[in-house]
Structure 1
Amino acid sequence: MTPTGQAEVVALMEAYFEGLHQANSTMLRRVFHPRLSYVCATEGDELYFDLDTYMARVDGRESPAKRGDPRDDAILEIAFGSDRIARVTARMSMMGRDYLDFLTLVPHGGNWRIVTKVFTYLPRKN
């Protein structure tokens, strides 16, 4: 993938992290594909949502920013399979939990969009 493609995905991830930190569904809708599949793979808390259901949950929560939580996130890996598919592994801490996200990206409307978000909670760092 070109450096431009890499930069586009990094910019998308910045908007993703900031949208989650602000609990801003308007911002998040710009990074997610309209046909998003949202999956929590944590044992005992498995969830399967579409975009609208997930955005309603985001709208119903107090944002980590408003709670005074610092942003703590990182891109661990970006991998391109072609100019039509990419994968991002990311980690973040918010709302008292550490998360590991596996995100699949595809082009939509001329831009990369997250079409699948599969995540789990990780044991808290001490």
Structure 2
Amino acid sequence: MYKKDVKEIENLITNYFMGIFNGDSAKLEACFDDNVHIYGDVKEIEYLKSIKEYLAGVENRPSPKDLGESFQMKIIGIDIMGKIAMVKLHVPMLGYNYYDYLSLATIDNNWKIVNKIFTHVA
């Protein structure tokens, strides 16, 4: 069971990365539960958005791919306990050095992101 969960979470995170990197809001939206909120700290400015607001931002900015950036996003760690998990990611893009902490849960037998917190580290 554990290996299956790790693989499913890695697939979810790959879709998350590709959605962000390519500016593919449909792929990105499929990674999240509808009730998720996104909290962040970007250069000491607080960031709070609903999933709809977050996806609109992705749709209305040039993607890292379109800007010719190299893909450097990676999983730092995955911690699974039963039907919940925490994932730590490094997401450098668009001139930022983001670290994401994603809370995941199995919903209808699929892993979904239920909470996202992130920060930019100079």
Alignment TM-score, normalising by the size of structure 1: 0.92
* Structure 2 equivalent of residue 88 of structure 1: 87
Once residues 6 and 63 of structure 1 are traced to their aligned partners in structure 2, the CA distance between those partners, rounded to angstroms, is 28
Q: Measure how far apart 1:43 and its partner are.
A: 5.5
Kindly report structure 1 stretches of 4+ aligned residues shifted beyond 2 Å.
41-44
Q: Measure how far apart 1:45 and its partner are.
A: 1.3
Once residues 107 and 47 of structure 2 are traced to their aligned partners in structure 1, the CA distance between those partners, rounded to angstroms, is 25
Distance 1:42 1:66, change over 3 A: closer
Name structure 1 gaps, 5 residues minimum: none
CA contact (8 A) 2:25 2:58 kept: yes
Matches within 5 A, 1:1-126: 2-42=2-42, 44-82=44-82, 84-123=83-122
Once residues 81 and 2 of structure 2 are traced to their aligned partners in structure 1, the CA distance between those partners, rounded to angstroms, is 12
The amino acid across from 1:33 in the alignment is D
CA contact (8 A) 2:84 2:104 kept: yes
CA contact (8 A) 2:39 2:47 kept: yes
Name structure 2 gaps, 5 residues minimum: none
- Post-superposition Cα deviations, 1:28-79, rounded to whole Å, max 9, x if no partner, equal 0111111111001345311111111111111111011011101111101100
- Post-superposition Cα deviations, 1:17-38, rounded to whole Å, max 9, x if no partner, equal 1110011110001111111110
Q: Secondary structure at the match of 1:57?
A: helix
Q: Measure how far apart 1:107 and its partner are.
A: 1.4
- Aligned residue-pair number: 122
**C-alpha RMSD of matched pairs (Å):** 1.2
The amino acid across from 2:59 in the alignment is D
The amino acid across from 1:112 in the alignment is W
Q: Secondary structure at the match of 2:45?
A: coil
The amino acid across from 1:57 in the alignment is G
